[in-house]
Structure formats: structure tokens, C-alpha cells
């Protein structure tokens, strides 16, 4: 086993491509991540602090992987987090529920899409 780390998402590959329906609008920020956590190797923490973002609303793919590592790192950096439970998912409902429960146990607020839309309303 070597000491090198393989990038999780390599720019220019299909796995790192932006999904067409989520293409950024003009003026929106884009964070290019190569690890499971959106905080590792990026300027996300600095950007959030400079923009004075008060709460992070997290959605995504693979609750136990990218979602969970990003959420745990956000908490470690003292960012309050809202996890949108029905806008994340895992291989099965059991894995998803266990990871959501773990995140709730560290202080993450868990809400649905409907809840978040009402909060923003």
C-alpha cells in the first residue's frame, strides 16, 4: 500500500461533471471538490465566513459518504447545519436512516424539503 491518495472526483471526468439541472446561474459560486468533504482542499470555509453565511442547508448524494463527511466537517468548523432528509439518499433506507440519526446526534437540524421551503418562505 503506497502513501498516495487518489482523488475522489477528477475534474474533466463524468464523475466530476455538474448535473445539467444544477448548472450554476451567472454569479453563483462553484466549489470544485476532489474529496468526499466539500471542505477538504477547498476554500469553502473561508467563503462561508466572508459571506457571513449563518446556516448551511445540505443536500446531496450518498448520505454515508459525501453528505456525512461534509456535514461533520461543517460542524467541526462551527457552521450550523440543516440536513434536508428527503434531498439526500443512500444505497438503502436503513443506511440512510442510520446516518441521518448520527448527524442529528451531533446537533444537525434535520428537516424535509417542505420544511426548508417554509423556512425560506
Q: Which domains does the chain have, with CATH numbers?
A: 14-120 (3.40.50.850)
- Say what the pTM is: 0.86
Q: In the structure, what pLDDT confidence band is assigned to residue 4 with cuts at 50, 70 and 90?
A: low
Task: Give 8-49 pLDDT, tens digit per residue.
Answer: 567 777 777 788 898 999 999 988 888 889 999 999 999 999
Question: Cα(6)–Cα(95) distance, rounded to whole angstroms?
Answer: 25
Per-residue cell: 10: 477528477
Q: Please tell me the distance from the alpha carbon of residue 32 to that of residue 9, in angstroms, as a whole number.
A: 9
CB 24 within 8 A of CB 18: yes
Listed in order, strand segments (DSSP E) in the chain are 56-58, 81-84, 109-111
Q: What pLDDT, on the 0 to 100 scale, is given for residue 2?
A: 55
Rounded Cα distance, 30 and 107, in Å: 27
Amino acid at each position: 500500500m503506497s502513501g498516495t491518495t487518489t482523488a475522489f472526483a477528477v475534474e474533466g471526468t463524468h464523475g466530476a461533471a455538474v448535473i445539467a439541472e444544477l448548472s450554476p446561474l451567472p454569479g453563483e459560486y462553484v466549489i470544485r471538490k476532489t474529496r468526499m468533504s466539500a471542505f477538504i482542499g477547498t476554500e469553502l470555509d473561508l467563503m462561508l465566513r466572508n459571506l457571513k453565511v449563518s446556516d448551511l442547508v445540505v443536500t446531496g448524494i450518498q448520505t454515508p459518504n459525501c453528505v456525512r463527511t461534509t456535514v461533520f466537517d461543517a460542524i467541526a468548523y462551527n457552521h450550523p447545519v440543516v440536513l434536508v432528509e428527503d434531498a439526500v439518499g443512500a444505497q438503502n433506507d436503513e443506511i440512510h436512516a442510520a446516518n441521518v440519526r448520527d448527524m442529528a446526534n451531533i446537533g444537525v437540524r434535520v428537516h424535509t424539503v417542505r420544511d426548508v421551503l417554509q423556512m425560506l418562505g
